[in-house]
């Protein structure tokens, strides 16, 4: 399969902030982020254009206790800033691996990162740069899952990859139920009727309406990202 052409030419990778923690309780585990970047680099060498939307839960978790009782919009803006911190860390790790990364933020912090401008993002992707989208959609009350669906649709991604710690969607929690089996594929309607909680409802509806398939896979599993891009049986495909 290594000599075959990739099944997908442009992907949107949704990384949770928690995925960057490794075994730490919060923050960024350097070894974890370096390993993830190595997997992304391997995919870009196949000629695949990669954009990333990153969450901020790992940073925000460290201050979450103090946010209890806080206005929801204020807390959400704090979360957006956490995603910018993660995006900068990810881009730095990419640069050290020889990738050219560009961070684009949905909220203006121009001394730190450039603002999100769709034509510029498309230009970067065509040039082979990895684009990291930070600050979610730029609006409170919307998750980074929704940002991934939105940016994926805007840039014409062929697939949204939701990276998790589990290698797909299962009939039950595989850690609690050894008999649980992995779905190879599901329609959006099936996933919603079974209440599988793959993404939040807004993100899910957007992907369904735009006929943008979602692949749920494990970012911890070595080589899984490449196998997904090559069209192999990895993770769970959710399709319209």
Q: Is residue 15 annotated as involved in ligand binding? A: yes
Q: Is residue 133 annotated as involved in ligand binding? A: no
Q: Is residue 215 annotated as involved in ligand binding? A: no
Q: Is residue 10 annotated as involved in ligand binding? A: no
Task: Please compute Rg for the chain using Cα positions.
Answer: 17
Tokens of residue 229, six digits: 């891009």
Q: Is residue 17 annotated as involved in ligand binding? A: yes
Chain position carrying tokens 């609006």: 139
Distance between CA atoms of 166 and 170, rounded to whole angstroms? 9
Q: Is residue 173 annotated as involved in ligand binding? A: yes
Q: Is residue 124 annotated as involved in ligand binding? A: no
Q: Is residue 138 annotated as involved in ligand binding? A: yes
What is the maximal distance between C-alpha atoms in the chain?
55
Q: Is residue 118 annotated as involved in ligand binding? A: no
Q: Is residue 209 annotated as involved in ligand binding? A: no
Tokens of residue 217, six digits: 């896979």
Q: Is residue 9 annotated as involved in ligand binding? A: no
Which 8-state DSSP code applies to residue 230? T
Tokens of residue 8, six digits: 């997908």
* Burial class for 131, CB neighbours closer than 10 Å (0-12, 13-18, 19+): buried
Among the listed residues 205, 218, 135, the one whose alpha carbon sits nearest the alpha carbon of residue 174? 218
Q: Is residue 142 annotated as involved in ligand binding? A: yes
Helix axes 201-209 and 144-154, enclosed angle (nearest 10): 20
Q: Is residue 223 annotated as involved in ligand binding? A: no
Q: Is residue 65 annotated as involved in ligand binding? A: no
Q: Is residue 69 annotated as involved in ligand binding? A: no
Residue 116: CB atoms within 10 Å? 22
Binding residues for ATP, by number, are: 14-17, 57, 61, 164, 170, 173
Residue ranges for the known binding site for UMP are 56, 76, 137-144
Binding residues: 14-17, 56-57, 61, 76, 137-144, 164, 170, 173
């Amino acid at each position: 399969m290594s000599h075959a052409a990739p099944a997908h030419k442009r992907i949107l990778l949704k990384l949770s902030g928690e995925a960057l923690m490794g075994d730490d309780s919060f923050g960024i585990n350097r070894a974890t982020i370096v390993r993830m970047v190595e997997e992304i680099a391997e995919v870009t060498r196949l000629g695949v254009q990669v954009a990333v939307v990153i969450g901020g839960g790992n940073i925000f978790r460290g201050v979450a206790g103090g946010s209890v009782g806080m206005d929801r919009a204020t807390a959400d803006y704090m979360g957006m800033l956490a995603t910018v911190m993660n995006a900068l860390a990810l881009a730095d790790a990419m640069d050290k691996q020889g990738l050219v990364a560009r961070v684009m933020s949905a909220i203006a912090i121009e001394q730190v990162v450039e603002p999100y401008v769709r034509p510029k993002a498309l230009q970067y992707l065509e040039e082979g740069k990895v684009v990291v989208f930070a600050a979610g959609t730029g609006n409170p009350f919307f998750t980074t899952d929704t940002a991934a669906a939105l940016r994926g649709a805007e840039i014409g991604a062929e697939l949204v990859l939701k990276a998790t710690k589990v290698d797909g969607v299962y009939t039950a929690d595989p850690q609690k139920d050894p008999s649980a089996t992995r779905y190879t594929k599901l329609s959006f309607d099936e996933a919603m009727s079974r209440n599988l909680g793959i993404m939040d409802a807004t993100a899910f509806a957007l992907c369904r309406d735009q006929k943008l398939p979602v692949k749920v896979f494990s970012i911890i599993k070595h080589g899984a990202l490449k196998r997904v891009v090559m069209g192999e049986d990895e993770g769970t495909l959710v399709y319209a």
